[in-house]
């Protein structure tokens, strides 16, 4: 078997020779290098300080939340999913930690301690869904490479911190600024593993809902979620939500690294997404905002139900922050649809619970489906849009219940 280093070298070299779809497929394989353990059946395992979660890989730690934790508005921190690309994750001592702000498009490099961040800027809190781009990847047919997530690579939390734009305002950003690049303290075991670095277009970095967060659900950010601070990019997939953040660079040129230019990309024009103009290639674009989606949380495929008794369906719906307009339910395989009741709205970046009651009139199999729509005019498709890395799985879910 080829070792990882050999595989990386070969992958990068052969990228040059490839074109079109196959470049993306290759990128997906290469991205998967850092998490190659495959999963046969769910294994519950406990990371320090956590409830038992569904283990995908141990090194790096990739643990998914069992959906029975999705009943509450905010996902308990000790049951929140954990996702890392690198196995080297330092325990940060806040005395030694600094947030460095630099880059070629900034005239005043700065650094901050955690105390300074906490006290020198206005503090804000946002309820926001942290959603892995590869959530539900395991549902793609044909299968795609990458961590084989089920539906639990997401969680909703209250994030408290300071606005990135308030912090950057101290550093005199030049007119040439194009992107803002973020790096965290974790790294690969091998020096050849590309460091996990992401960048945002300047406008998104300066959005009032992009935060440097130091609290999650009212507590200091725990280790597994990025102590002492992480980026929150409300409405965008969590690949940009850099944990253990320690360096922010304002750049006049597009960030040129594996995690922006090779991994986390989608075929062009397949999704109606926010743009990241400085990172567009001929055939692909970086993934950006969350697509409209929903999940049934209290029934599973094959579940037995008693006839003539009301069944209450419960679930979640979410989108990039335009807001959910409605969730429709079908209990007859999509022939007819009825509206579910939307529960409390915790803010436009939060997920939203819904409920729907129905009484099966006769014994038999019922194909139950849920379909969310958002204020952007988007609705979940019946079939997920195929893409080589298996991102944005938002096909309408269909589960069969057996009424006896």
In this structure, are residues 129 and 118 in contact, taking their beta carbons and an 8 Å threshold?
A: no
Q: Considering only residues 27, 54, 67, 81, which one is a binding residue for ligand MTE as defined by CB under 6 A?
A: 81
Per the rule left: phi > 0, alpha: psi between -120 and 50, beta: everything else, 219 is: beta
Count of residues that interact with ligand MTE, criterion CB under 6 A: 19
In this structure, are residues 253 and 145 in contact, taking their beta carbons and an 8 Å threshold?
A: no
Q: Does 225 bind ligand MTE (CB under 6 A)?
A: yes
Comparing CB distances to ligand MTE, the nearer of 64 and 207 is 64
Taken in order 218, 220, 225, 226, the sign of the CA dihedral is positive
Q: Does 238 bind ligand MTE (CB under 6 A)?
A: yes
Residue nearest to ligand MTE according to CB distances in the complex: 184
Q: Does 392 bind ligand MTE (CB under 6 A)?
A: no
Q: Which of 345, 352, 346 is nearest to 314 (CA)?
A: 352
- Interface pattern 312-351 for ligand MTE (x via CB under 6 A): ----------------------------------------
398 three-state secondary structure: strand
Q: Does 371 bind ligand MTE (CB under 6 A)?
A: no
In this structure, are residues 339 and 327 in contact, taking their beta carbons and an 8 Å threshold?
A: yes
Comparing CB distances to ligand MTE, the nearer of 193 and 239 is 239
What residues from 67 to 96 belong to the interface with Mo ion (CB under 5 A)? 83
Radius of gyration of the chain (CA): 21
User: What does the block give as tokens for 114?
Assistant: 């955690």
Residue with tokens 């952007």: 376
Q: Does 186 bind ligand MTE (CB under 6 A)?
A: yes
Comparing CB distances to ligand MTE, the nearer of 131 and 313 is 131
Q: Does 196 bind ligand MTE (CB under 6 A)?
A: yes
Query: Using the 8-state DSSP alphabet, how is residue 356 labeled?
Result: E
For 278, list phi and psi in degrees, rounded to 5.
Answer: -75, -10
Min separation Cβ 220 and ligand MTE, Å: 14
Min separation Cβ 391 and ligand MTE, Å: 10
Listed in order, strand segments (DSSP E) in 132-281 are 154-163, 179-184, 197-201, 210-216, 219-220, 230-233, 245-251, 265-267
Q: Does 35 bind ligand MTE (CB under 6 A)?
A: no
Q: Does 85 bind ligand MTE (CB under 6 A)?
A: yes
- Interface pattern 216-255 for Mo ion (x via CB under 5 A): -----------------------x----------------
What residues from 95 to 134 belong to the interface with ligand MTE (CB under 6 A)? 130, 132
Report how far residue 370's alpha carbon sits from residue 255's, in angstroms, rounded to the nearest whole number: 39
In this structure, are residues 229 and 214 in contact, taking their beta carbons and an 8 Å threshold?
A: yes
Comparing CB distances to ligand MTE, the nearer of 153 and 329 is 153
Min separation Cβ 243 and Mo ion, Å: 11
Per the rule left: phi > 0, alpha: psi between -120 and 50, beta: everything else, 234 is: beta
Min separation Cβ 211 and ligand MTE, Å: 14
173 three-state secondary structure: strand
Comparing CB distances to ligand MTE, the nearer of 26 and 243 is 243
Q: Which of 214, 120, 125 is nearest to 166 (CA)?
A: 120
User: What does the block give as tokens for 338?
Assistant: 């009825």
Q: Does 132 bind Mo ion (CB under 5 A)?
A: yes
Q: Does 242 bind ligand MTE (CB under 6 A)?
A: yes
Q: Does 243 bind ligand MTE (CB under 6 A)?
A: yes
Interacting residue ranges for ligand MTE, rule: CB under 6 A? 80-86, 130, 132, 184, 186, 196, 225, 238-239, 241-244
Q: Interface with Mo ion by CB under 5 A: which residues? A: 83, 132, 239
């Amino acid at each position: 078997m080829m070792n990882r280093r050999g595989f990386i070298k070969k992958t990068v070299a052969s990228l040059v020779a490839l074109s079109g779809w196959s470049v993306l497929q290759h990128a997906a394989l290469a991205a998967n290098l850092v998490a190659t353990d495959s999963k046969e059946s769910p294994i519950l395992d406990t990371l320090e300080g956590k409830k038992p979660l569904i283990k995908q890989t141990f090194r790096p730690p990739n643990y998914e939340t069992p959906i029975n934790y999705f009943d509450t508005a905010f996902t308990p921190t000790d049951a929140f999913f954990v996702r890392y690309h690198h196995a080297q994750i330092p325990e940060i001592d806040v005395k030694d930690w600094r947030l460095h702000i630099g880059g070629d498009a900034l005239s005043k490099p700065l650094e901050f301690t955690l105390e300074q961040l906490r006290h020198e800027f206005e503090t804000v809190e946002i309820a926001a869904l942290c959603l892995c781009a590869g959530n539900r990847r395991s549902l793609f047919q044909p299968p795609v490479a990458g961590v084989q997530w089920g539906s639990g690579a997401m969680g909703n939390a209250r994030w408290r911190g300071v606005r990135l734009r308030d912090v950057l305002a101290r550093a005199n950003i030049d007119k040439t600024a194009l992107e803002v690049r973020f790096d965290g303290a974790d790294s690969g075991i091998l020096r050849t593993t590309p460091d996990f670095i992401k960048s945002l277009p300047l406008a998104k970095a300066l959005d009032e809902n992009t935060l440097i967060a130091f609290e999650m659900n009212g507590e200091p950010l725990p280790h597994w979620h990025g102590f002492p601070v992480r980026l929150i990019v409300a409405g965008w997939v969590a690949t940009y939500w850099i944990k253990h953040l320690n360096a922010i660079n304002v750049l006049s040129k597009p960030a040129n690294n594996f995690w922006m230019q090779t991994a986390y990309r989608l075929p062009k024009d397949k999704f109606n997404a926010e743009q990241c103009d400085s990172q567009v290639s001929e055939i692909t674009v970086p993934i950006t905002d969350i697509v409209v989606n929903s999940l049934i949380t209290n029934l599973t495929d094959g579940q037995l139900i008693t006839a003539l008794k009301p069944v209450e369906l419960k679930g979640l719906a979410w989108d990039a922050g335009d807001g959910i307009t409605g969730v429709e339910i079908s209990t007859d395989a999509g022939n007819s649809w009825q509206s579910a009741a939307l529960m409390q709205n915790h803010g436009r970046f939060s997920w939203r619970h819904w409920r729907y009651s129905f009484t099966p009139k006769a014994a038999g199999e019922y194909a139950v489906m849920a379909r969310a729509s958002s204020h952007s005019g988007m609705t979940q498709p019946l079939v997920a849009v195929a893409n080589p890395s298996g991102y944005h799985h938002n096909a309408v879910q269909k589960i069969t219940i057996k009424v006896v």
